[in-house]
Amino acid sequence: MNDIINELAFFFQRLNWLSVVDLLLVTVIAFFLLKLLQGTQAAVLLRGLILLIIISTLLTILRGLPAFSWLLQTSLPALLIAIPVIFAPEIRRALERLGRASSLFSRRSEPDQIENMIDIISQSTKRLSDRRYGALIVIEREVQLDEYVETGIHLDAILSPALILQIFFINTPLHDGAVILRGERIIASSCVMPLSASGTLSRTPDHQMGLRHRAALGISEVSDSVTVVVSEETGDISVAHNGRLIRLLDQNRLHSILASFFHRRKAGRLPSWLVRPPFRRKKTEGPTPVE
């Protein structure tokens, strides 16, 4: 501890205006790199990498760990080479976003717009459930879903109950696949979602959940999106988020769950790229989420 204090004191003694400018430049560059990664899956990997670096640094400070220090020094060059390979798709998308500079400073949806979106989804889902129309509605949040939008048919239409019902009407050209929402707009329909391979659905007491529920869990495992599923066989309404599924919802409870996801961010918390909100459910009587 004394060594750390002495090193910090030595650092501040050598600090001058040129060093301050140097630190500010590095900070600005780091800030813009983080803004580029915001809204991509690389942000999740970056959090894990930062945590790994912090733990490794703390362990190397401790004396008496020569084997661990050797392992860290040996694997660090390979890690630096592997990072561009692992992050290649995210780096490409980040550079594309840099070309569309306005997207880096896009405004968040207003509370009234969010409430209107939740009302429309709740009403539409209730009508879909009553008619036994299967549906898969993916609501984008911080992590953008552009790669999945490309698998479907671009719409960029204003969200409305009539449009949702028309899309998921049986045997229409757009009813297969998922609808992706971005704010109050339907970006695309008939989108292909990744299927979950976690085996969560195989542990359920019934086997009435098929590809729609697997797709809902799959997209929730690779992004922070919220997905609403309507079963075509039973009309049951479910919500998937963060690799978990909460089932047997009615319109009011669906509205409450969606509101809890989109209204719980408050000022003063850590940045969204650093903290991924865990799945929460209200302490009320009723069905429990499938884990």
Six-digit token pair at 170?
A: 């049986």
Q: 148, 122, 118: which is closest to 135 by C-alpha?
A: 122
140 & 57 share domain: no
Tell whether 288 is covered by a domain: no
Same domain for 144 and 248? yes
Does residue 218 share a domain with residue 191?
Answer: yes
Q: Is residue 282 part of a domain?
A: no
* Each residue's pLDDT tens digit, 57-70: 776 666 566 776 77
User: For all residues of the chain together, what is the average pLDDT?
Assistant: 75
Q: Is 27 left (phi over 0), alpha (psi -120 to 50) or beta?
A: alpha
Residue 100: inside a domain: yes
CB 148 within 8 A of CB 191: yes
Query: 43 lies in which domain range?
Result: 2-105
116 and 101 assigned to the same domain: no
What pTM value is reported for the model? 0.60
The pLDDT tens digits for 65-99 are 677 677 777 776 777 677 667 666 666 655 655 55
At 126-174, the pLDDT tens digits run 999 999 999 999 999 887 888 899 999 999 999 999 999 999 998 888 8
The reply to whether 10 falls in a domain is: yes
Say if residue 247 is in the same domain as residue 119.
yes
Clarify whether residues 94 and 137 are in a common domain.
no
Could you give the number of structural domains in the chain? 2
Residue 179 lies in a domain: yes
If asked whether residues 53 and 191 sit together in one domain, one would say no
